[in-house]
């Protein structure tokens, strides 16, 4: 039947297999994994020290802001993936079309 903003009408049972097979869900899971990889790589290997100096410095041209920016983007991307994944889970239960519209526009705006 018809739906609003890309989902079926509100209500009904949650089908996990059908949910996981949706392209946006697969893309969110892959994006969350990549965001974790970016974050983990920068935290683990983004800072080095010289043998004569114990002070840690960013490997990107010794610019601390570059490492902080990458870590911040990684964390923000991971949190956004988790948030929009949860929105995808609860989206079919949202009956208000205005709320659905704002969630879809928020997803589109953040992705853009």
Cβ count within 10 A of residue 81: 20
Paired strand residues for 7: 4
Q: How far is CA 46 from CA 21, 35, 51, in A?
A: 35, 15, 16
Domain boundaries, the chain: 18-79
- Segment 88-101 shows an average pLDDT of 85
Report the C-alpha gap between 76 and 38 in whole angstroms. Answer: 11
Kindly tell me if the per-residue pLDDT of 11 is higher than 70: no
- Segment 90-104 shows an average pLDDT of 86
Report the C-alpha gap between 35 and 41 in whole angstroms. Answer: 10
Given this model, what pLDDT does residue 10 score?
56
């Amino acid at each position: 039947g018809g739906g609003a903003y890309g989902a079926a009408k509100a209500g009904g049972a949650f089908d996990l297999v059908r949910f996981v097979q949706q392209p946006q869900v697969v893309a969110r899971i892959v994006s969350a994994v990549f965001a974790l990889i970016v974050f983990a790589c920068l935290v683990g290997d983004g800072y080095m020290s010289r043998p004569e100096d114990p002070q840690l410095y960013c490997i990107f041209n010794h610019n601390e802001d570059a490492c902080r920016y990458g870590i911040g983007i990684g964390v923000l991307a991971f949190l956004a993936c988790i948030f929009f994944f949860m929105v995808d889970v609860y989206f079919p239960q949202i009956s208000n079309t205005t709320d659905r519209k704002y969630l879809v526009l928020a997803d589109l705006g953040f992705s853009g």
